[in-house]
Amino acid sequence: MDTIKLFPNRKQESSANEQDSSLVAFSHAAKSQLKAGSVALIGAGPGDAELLTIKALSYLQQADVVLYDYLVSEDIMALIPSSTILVCVGKKAGHHSVPQHKTNQLLVDFANQGHKVARIKGGDPFIFGRGGEELEVLAEAGIQFEVIPGITSAAGATAYAGIPLTHRDYAQSAMFVTGHLKSDDDQMDWATLARGQQTLVIYMGLMKSSHIQEQLIKHGRSSTTPLAIIERGTQKQQKVLLGQLSDLSTLAEHAQSPSLIVVGEVVQLATKLNWFQSENQVTQQTQKVAV
């Protein structure tokens, strides 16, 4: 079994890279304290570091050990003190992944060693983040834990793309689902997902885009329903691809993970309401791909 010795502290960086004093003061505005031997499950949000809660930032500053995923942005990781032990336990297609049971064991081991442990995940840890699974293991091991919610990617990315999840004229409900499907064991309720006048947000759906497109149209969603793929939502590299449901599989070829698929009449507002643009660009980042 791995021990903490396999995860040494990072080398101290130059003073030029140390945290700004105002940032430290801001994090100290939080009154809660991360206890030794406990774990804080933290939602990092969709990527923009300014969307972190004060409590999340404070706990990242207090932690001795931070276990993080690939979806946590570089800007957020840069907020963690250089003396903190960092352990990457992410899962990413085409890359070495840490099995979930190994991540669970590391959380238990670090906490039992008396460390203040932060487990940070992209978005919100209770929305397709396996946060509940990890806390079950901690509870069974008798380890104290806290949960600091984050802005889920569906809410953050759509807001930055100018797509309201609900609208009195276009959508009276919103549904969040995962597109990480097993092709031979698809138990999704496609008839419900294909209903009109609702916004459907699909996490991790790029690889199954053809299947998703086929099933939604088969079960009644119009092929002309507005659609968007939001890549790296809220981050300076954000890209929004617009089209119709019939374009989904083609648009997906132009997108990379992490991306969200948004299906619904509200998407037609994206061009009108798209307010976000990075500091390095003059024009808005919304794009239309020829299909």
Please check whether residue 235 is in contact with residue 201, taking contact to mean a CB–CB distance below 8 angstroms. no
Q: Is the pLDDT of residue 28 over 70?
A: no
Q: Which two tokens stand for residue 184?
A: 């031979």
Residue 67 makes CB contacts below 8 A (sequence gap 6+) with 87, 88, 89, 103, 106, 107, 110, 117, 118, 119, 120
User: According to the model, what pLDDT value does residue 182 have?
Assistant: 57
Q: Is the pLDDT of residue 279 over 50?
A: no
Extents of the domains making up the chain:
27-148, 153-273
- For the segment 277-284, the average pLDDT, to the nearest whole number, is 41
Range from 181-185, 213-217, 246-250, 262-266 carrying the lowest mean pLDDT: 181-185
Q: Is the pLDDT of residue 23 over 90?
A: no
Confidence of residue 95 (pLDDT cuts 50, 70, 90): low
The predicted-structure confidence for 218-255, as pLDDT tens digits, reads as follows: 999 999 999 999 999 999 999 999 999 999 999 999 99
Q: Which two tokens stand for residue 36?
A: 């030794």
69 is catalytic: yes
Measure the CA–CA gap between 285 and 228, rounded to whole angstroms: 13
The predicted-structure confidence for 161-211, as pLDDT tens digits, reads as follows: 999 999 999 999 999 999 876 556 678 999 999 999 999 999 999 999 999
Catalytic residue among 69, 116, 208, 239: 69
Catalytic residue among 35, 75, 91, 236: 91
| CATH number for the domain running over 153-273 | 3.30.950.10
55 is catalytic: no
The predicted-structure confidence for 7-21, as pLDDT tens digits, reads as follows: 556 655 545 455 555
The predicted-structure confidence for 56-67, as pLDDT tens digits, reads as follows: 999 999 999 999
Residue 145 makes CB contacts below 8 A (sequence gap 6+) with 38, 39, 40, 41, 135, 138, 139
Among residues 115, 52, 107, 46, which one has the least CA distance to residue 79? 52
- Domain formed by 27-148, architecture: 3-Layer(aba) Sandwich (3.40)
